[in-house]
Amino acid sequence: MITIDGSYNEGGGQIIRTALALSTITKKPFKAENIRQGRPKSGLKSQHLHCIKALEELCNAKTEGATLGSESITYIPGKLQGKTLNIDIGTAGSISLFLQAILIPCILAEKKSIINIKGGTDGKWAIPFDYFNNIILPQIKKYTNKIEARILKRGYYPKGGGEIEIKISPRFNIENKHNAPQINLQNQGEILLIKGISHASINLEAPKVADRQANSAELSLAKLKCPIAIQKAYYNTACPGSGIVLWALCGDKELNDINPVILGGDALGERYKKSENVGKEAADILFKELESKAPVDNHTADNLIPFLALFGGTINVSKITKHTLTNIYVCEKFLGKIFKVEGNNIKTFINKA
């Protein structure tokens, strides 16, 4: 049985989510210890338990220690099947983080999966759902016959109440994954277009919060001298909130459909934080990512690591983060030594024959 140190590199919940995903598809059981040690509150959180519950349904997994606050868990996967699942994470637990545990198993399942998830769409310390949907999802479409996600209701911290639906029709499975294309993102190219969505709760429509966030972002990005299209939207939500996600589409004259170059930046609104500052913050983050000349931003990088581990490839990233190194650590626990990191270049050594 594989043993994983849940405190590795400051021990975030990402270790557990990635381990659950890879254990499920490789059918290798694991035991994780010292879960989230080094964090203010160690042990499993509610969102991790919902990941485990979903995988118990997807692959009839058996678990020990799957209780709130547990610092040790044993996970034994069963046969993977695609299913229709309804998951309520509760309050503002991140939907995007939840997807890190179940996305790969659903992509490599034998049948189509339809998953309805309730929780938080926009919160601190997690990529917003719009970021997942417009920056990360385009990178993994090539591993499915069809994958589509849509937001049904937006949910801000602290009450959450958001809801999304994702449908996944598999193209490959664990036996024939060697036929799948690799991820090859080495050059940024030129900026073709910047898109985005600036959003806020309906009670912030009168002061035009979403509009002000978008206008500020557009003003900050005007120096790039490229087309900019930022959608403004207001939503009925359980509690007030706002945010903005921006993404730059890059390439050599046109976007590559197989390995699209899309870099992102985002920011959340907070009480007493000017809407103009929210928009500028997201724009500054995106500008810094573009300035690196890398085709992969630092948040997308760690989310791509499990896909690189399974399908192979090479990426150049703007920054090697602790999250990226943590995911490499977990992937190599299940798949052996397959990564080589030199500077900001990450490559895999996988026999595709």
Name the β-bridge partners of 267. Answer: 244
CA 195/CA 224 separation, integer angstroms: 13
Let me know: does 293 contact 188? Beta carbons within 8 Å: yes
Say which residue the tokens 């890398």 belong to.
Answer: 294
Q: Determine the residue type at 32.
A: A
Helix (H) or strand (E) holding 190: strand 190-201
Say which residue the tokens 């090859």 belong to.
Answer: 184
The answer to whether 48 is a known catalytic residue is no
Half-sphere exposure of 295 (CA within 13 A, CB side): 23
Catalytic residue among 50, 199, 299, 323: 323
For residue 209, what are the contacts with CB-CB under 8 A and spacing of at least 6?
Answer: 200, 242, 269, 275
User: In what side-by-side order are the strands of the sheet with 190-201?
Assistant: 228-235, 190-201, 242-251, 261-268
Query: Token pair of 237, please?
Result: 């939500």
Say which residue the tokens 């993977």 belong to.
Answer: 80
Helices (H) and strands (E) in the chain, counts: 9, 16
Q: Determine the residue type at 280.
A: K
Q: Residues in the chain, how many?
A: 353
CA 326/CA 5 separation, integer angstroms: 11
Q: Determine the residue type at 140.
A: I
Task: From 98, 94, 99, 77, select the one nearest 156 (Cα to Cα).
Answer: 94
Let me know: does 15 contact 4? Beta carbons within 8 Å: yes
**Distance, CA of 34 to chain centre:** 24
Name the β-bridge partners of 46. Answer: none
DSSP state of 181: P
Positions marked catalytic: 323
